[in-house]
Structure 1
Amino acid sequence: MGVRDRVDEFCARYRLRLPIVQAPMAGACPPELAIAVAEAGGMGAAGVVLDSPVRIADWAARFRAGSAGPFQLNIWIPDDPAEDAATAQRQAETAREFLGRFGEPSEPGGASPDFDEQCEAMLAAAPAVVSSIMGLFPPEYVRRLAERGIAWFACATTLDEALAAQEAGANAIVAQGLEAGGHRGTFDPDSAEHTAVGLFALLPRLADHLRVPIIATGGIADGRAMAAALALGASAVQVGTALLRCPETAISKEWSSALDGLAPEATLTTRAYSGRLGRAAPTPYVRAWSEPEAPVPARYPTQRQLVAQWRRGTPDGLDRVNVWAGQSAAMAREEPAGEVVARMWRDASALLAAD
């Protein structure tokens, strides 16, 4: 199947005018951003890993008030409990001690949202797509998604992960290259540092072995990268960092400034924010955790809970938000999201037509 045929088939299946999916960036995906992407012809998105069922329902309602287009809801698959509880406890204690250099914490916060309740809320919201990262949904939930006519997009960072997701019933694979900002989607949290495949090596590897469509993500911020991803076997692309500086995203000035002109090689992978590996801007806080005397961050979700506790306290030098940044950060522009995705597809289309 040729590039145009793949793209047209994918767009027809998901009611898109252009093959661009907004990345579901938890904490940076207000309905206004998803509406702008959907109204431009793409697919909006929300990352709901931190959201209660009420917030999930509210986000979906606000989106539908502004657009009749498609959207996806994304969630993390929970980690298995730590096999070595004693080691996990020691890591938590040393992480807590290290965070003391950033001020005094507040009281611990409440419990994280319940995964099963979040899954029920996503079913009730009835998006076009429910997507997963860091693992696979249970078979019973996959069956219920299919019964409701909701597609499942599964993030994968290797062929083995992608094949497992395809076998489990995923309707499409989100192929995440190491260039991507935010969290790595590896199924095994402890292997994330060693599972570092670039997108343009990963795409043909997956395209040669998968039956389901592939959505490319990681470092895609203009039409050139989009055209290359489609030529290598993707049916669509997923874009995150390129949209962070758009007015609809409304990230903080500090985060936006950190992305301005940020070189690809300057971004860092870190567990300092959540305990799971992610790619971020090199803020003083992130760099502190890579110093020789720095401890290993606590496992997820303990590290995230500790960081939240310090943020509610009196932090001194601790980032107020997670300053995620993909390797294409310098290409992010302060312009409306609809213009960003429209330009990407226009430029990609011209390049593909020239070939």
Structure 2
Amino acid sequence: MAEDIFGVRIVAAPMAGGTSTPALVTAVHAAGGLGFLAAGYKGVAAMQAEIRTVRESGVRFGVNVFVPDLARLAASAAAREVLEEYRLELSADALRYGVELPPPRLDDDDEWQGKIDALLADPVELVSFTFGLPGPDIVRALQRGGSAVLATVTSAAEARRADDLGVDALVVQHGCAGGHSAAFLPGSAVPATTAELIAAVRSAVMLPLAAAGGIMDTAGVDRVLAAGAQAAQLGTAFLRTNESGARQLHKDALASPHFTRTALTRAFTGRSARALVNEFVRDHPDAPDAYPAVHHLTAPLRAAAAAAGDPERLNLWAGTGWQQARAGSVAKVLAGLLG
């Protein structure tokens, strides 16, 4: 087995959209964990500014990058028609807030090449990828520059594909994880628990593994480590912390008895993501598989919902263990997880 590159039991998941702040990453390190900055939805300059901020604090950290689906950047006429139909379906939501929905945007690759170039020019210790795999040339270039490369996978088949690419470690994400699914190959039977998925991936590859999905306490950490992971990656557990950049509306919803379950939904972004079930999720069960075009389409609605203090129209990402999420400092939460 390759040497464990995590060096800690707890990894704080990269949560895009402003949640994984430099303060959160720094606090996680100070409390005995490892944090990742989330480059998704940020421009290159914003990513670089966050890297500088965390680097100045002298902590270990990684950076997570979204892999664009290039096929979606050349959407067919049929795909465009489906997006227009969903735009029409959202008209009642737009009327509720008095906002105008933008025309479908199909050219967003999340500044992919610019971010890769920046990470090659100014390497960080760890670079992880989600939503797909980078090309082998990118993996090798990052490794030559001194970065360890991690791929996020959701099955043994994806793990083998990443292993063949030559990555240094894997983040193994179960479907009970909050936020977007990292899946990039057609679905297959998924083990019932994160620990069982880790065992399946461990039987397929010998890379260091971080387990992600529904891990909220010490017992959950122990289970995935016993199954073959070197570390547990947690996101929802840190959402309500003081250092988290999640909206207060989101933090409050996680603690509210009003929300009683989570579900996978494409309603907000066009990519399957686990969220608290609110009115928006229930109203749009058949949203198209069209990320990130749907993300841009619903952005004005989400912004208006946040401004109005309306959690029923906000993307309330949450894993299945959300009810165990605790408020307070990262140090307090991590101390509880480390026992």
TM-score w.r.t. the length of structure 1 is 0.85
2:334 equivalent in structure 1: 341
Q: Do 2:196 and 2:227's aligned partners in 1 also have CA atoms closer than 8 Å? A: no
Listed as ranges, the gaps of 5+ residues in structure 2 are: none
Are residue 225 (structure 1) and residue 216 (structure 2) matched? no
Q: How well do the aligned residues superpose, as a CA RMSD in angstroms?
A: 2.6
Are residue 242 (structure 1) and residue 233 (structure 2) matched? no
CA change 1:214–1:265 in 2 (3 A) is farther
User: Equivalents in 2 of 1:331, 1:320: separation in Å?
Assistant: 23
1:350 equivalent in structure 2: none
1:182 equivalent in structure 2: 179
Pairing partner for 1:209 from 201, 204, 207: 204
Are residue 164 (structure 1) and residue 161 (structure 2) matched? yes
2:269 equivalent in structure 1: 274
Counterpart residue type for residue 147 of structure 2: I
TM-score w.r.t. the length of structure 2 is 0.88
**Is the deviation greater in 178-187 or in 335-344?**
335-344
Offset at residue 196 of structure 1 (A): 4.4
Are residue 45 (structure 1) and residue 39 (structure 2) matched? no
User: Equivalents in 2 of 1:244, 1:254: separation in Å?
Assistant: 11
Offset at residue 298 of structure 1 (A): 5.5
Counterpart residue type for residue 251 of structure 1: A
User: Equivalents in 2 of 1:200, 1:19: separation in Å?
Assistant: 15
1:259-285 Cα deviation digits (max 9, x unpaired): 116799710100011111000011211
Are residue 299 (structure 1) and residue 284 (structure 2) matched? no
SS state at 1:89 partner: helix
Q: Do 1:56 and 1:121's aligned partners in 2 also have CA atoms closer than 8 Å? A: no
Q: 1:47-66 to 2 correspondence within 5 Å?
A: 47-65=38-56
User: Equivalents in 2 of 1:140, 1:284: separation in Å?
Assistant: 44
Corresponding residue pairs, total: 328
User: Equivalents in 2 of 1:158, 1:264: separation in Å?
Assistant: 29
CA change 1:200–1:298 in 2 (3 A) is closer
1:135 equivalent in structure 2: 132
CA change 1:229–1:313 in 2 (3 A) is closer
CA change 1:20–1:313 in 2 (3 A) is closer
User: Equivalents in 2 of 1:178, 1:118: separation in Å?
Assistant: 28
1:105 equivalent in structure 2: 99
1:114 equivalent in structure 2: 111
Q: Do 2:123 and 2:147's aligned partners in 1 also have CA atoms closer than 8 Å? A: yes
Pairing partner for 1:253 from 242, 248, 257: 248
CA change 1:40–1:263 in 2 (3 A) is farther
User: Equivalents in 2 of 1:20, 1:29: separation in Å?
Assistant: 15
Counterpart residue type for residue 304 of structure 1: H
User: Equivalents in 1 of 2:87, 2:292: separation in Å?
Assistant: 13
Pairing partner for 2:63 from 66, 73, 94: 73
Q: Percent of counterpart pairs with the same letter?
A: 31
Listed as ranges, the gaps of 5+ residues in structure 1 are: 347-355
Offset at residue 108 of structure 1 (A): 3.9
CA change 1:337–1:323 in 2 (3 A) is same
Q: Do 1:264 and 1:328's aligned partners in 2 also have CA atoms closer than 8 Å? A: no
User: Equivalents in 2 of 1:302, 1:31: separation in Å?
Assistant: 28
